[in-house]
Structure 1
Amino acid sequence: MKTNYLIPAAAFAALLALTSCSLMPKKSSHIKHTPDMYATAVGGSSSSNVSASDLPEHYSKIQFPEYKYVAPYPKDFRVEIAEGIAGYIVSDSTLPLVDFTVYFEESNLPQVLKDEAAFEMVGTMIRRGAGGGITPHVLEDSLEFVSASISTSVGTYLSAFDINSLSKDFPSMLELAKKVLTAPAFDKNQLEVVKANYVTAYERRFETPAKVLSALKAKVNYAPNPRLWDANSAEYKAVTAADVKRLAKGVFSSKRIVFALAGDVNKDSAVVQLKKFFADWKVEPSKAEKPKPTPLAFARKPGVYVVDKDITQANITMNQPFVQRPHPDYYPTAVASFILGGGSFSSRLMNRVRSDEGLAYSVYSTVGNDYRDTAMTTIALQTKVETVDFAMKLIFEEVEKLAKDGPTPEELSQAKKSLVESLPSLFDSPASTASIFAKGELLGKSDNHYIDYVTEINAVTAEQVKAMIAKYFDKEKMTISIVGPVAMFDSLKPFTVIPLDSLEFR
Structure 2
Amino acid sequence: SISREDLIAFHRRYVRPDNLMLAAAGDFDTESLVALLEQSLGSWSANGRSSLPPVPNVETTAKPGVYLVDRPIPQSSIAIGHFGVDRTNPDRQAIELMNQLLGGGGFTSRITKRVRSAEGLAYSVGSRFGTDGRQPGLFQVIALTRTDGTARAVGAILDEIKRLRDAPVPAPELDAAKEALTNSFLFWFADPTQAVRRLMLLEFEGLPPDYYQTLLDRYRAVTRERLHEVARRYVKPDDLAIVVVGDANALKPALSSFGSIRKILHQAPTVRTP
Query: Under a length normalisation based on structure 1, what TM-score does the superposition of the two structures give?
Result: 0.50
What one-letter code is carried by the residue in structure 2 that aligns with 1:425? F
Q: Measure the CA separation in 2 of the matches of 1:457 and 1:389.
A: 35
Aligned to 1:267: 30
Q: Measure the CA separation in 1 of the matches of 2:145 and 2:128.
A: 18
Aligned to 1:499: 265
Partner of 2:200, secondary structure, is helix
Q: Measure the CA separation in 1 of the matches of 2:234 and 2:246.
A: 26
> Is contact 1:320–1:478 with CA below 8 Å preserved after alignment?
yes
What one-letter code is carried by the residue in structure 2 that aligns with 1:412? L
> Is contact 2:73–2:246 with CA below 8 Å preserved after alignment?
yes
Q: Measure the CA separation in 2 of the matches of 1:344 and 1:361.
A: 11
Percent of matched pairs sharing the same residue: 27
Note the 1:6-25 alignment, pairs <5 A: none
Aligned to 2:164: 402
Q: Measure the CA separation in 1 of the matches of 2:222 and 2:56.
A: 33
What one-letter code is carried by the residue in structure 2 that aligns with 1:258? M
> Is contact 2:131–2:137 with CA below 8 Å preserved after alignment?
yes
CA shift for structure 1 position 286: 5.3
Aligned to 1:138: none
> Is contact 2:13–2:50 with CA below 8 Å preserved after alignment?
no
Larger relative CO (CA 8 A, sep 6+): 1 or 2? 2
Which sits farther off after the overlay, 246-255 or 260-269? 246-255
Q: What RMSD in Å do the two structures reach over aligned CA positions? A: 2.2
Q: 1 or 2, which has the higher helix percentage? A: 2
Please, which of 85, 89, 102 is the counterpart of residue 327 of structure 1? 89
Please, which of 1, 13, 17 is the counterpart of residue 250 of structure 1? 13
Partner of 1:307, secondary structure, is strand
CA shift for structure 1 position 289: 6.0
Say whether residues 1:430 and 2:196 are aligned partners: no
Residues 1:436 and 1:492: Cα distance change in structure 2 (over 3 Å): same
Aligned to 2:272: none
What one-letter code is carried by the residue in structure 1 that aligns with 2:265? P
CA shift for structure 1 position 415: 0.5
> Is contact 1:337–1:469 with CA below 8 Å preserved after alignment?
no
List alignment gaps of at least 5 residues for structure 1.
1-113, 119-238
Please, which of 123, 130, 135 is the counterpart of residue 368 of structure 1? 130
Residues 1:295 and 1:266: Cα distance change in structure 2 (over 3 Å): farther
Query: Under a length normalisation based on structure 2, what TM-score does the superposition of the two structures give?
Result: 0.89
Q: Measure the CA separation in 1 of the matches of 2:235 and 2:75.
A: 24
> Is contact 1:320–1:472 with CA below 8 Å preserved after alignment?
no
Say whether residues 1:314 and 2:76 are aligned partners: yes
Q: Larger radius of gyration, structure 1 or 2?
A: 1
List alignment gaps of at least 5 residues for structure 2.
270-274
What one-letter code is carried by the residue in structure 2 that aligns with 1:359? L
Aligned to 2:54: 292
Please, which of 204, 212, 222 is the counterpart of residue 460 of structure 1? 222
What one-letter code is carried by the residue in structure 1 that aligns with 2:56? T
> Is contact 2:121–2:149 with CA below 8 Å preserved after alignment?
yes
What one-letter code is carried by the residue in structure 2 that aligns with 1:480? I
Note the 1:74-473 alignment, pairs <5 A: 114=1, 118=2, 239=3, 241-282=4-45, 285=47, 290-473=52-235
Paired residue total? 266
CA shift for structure 1 position 404: 1.6
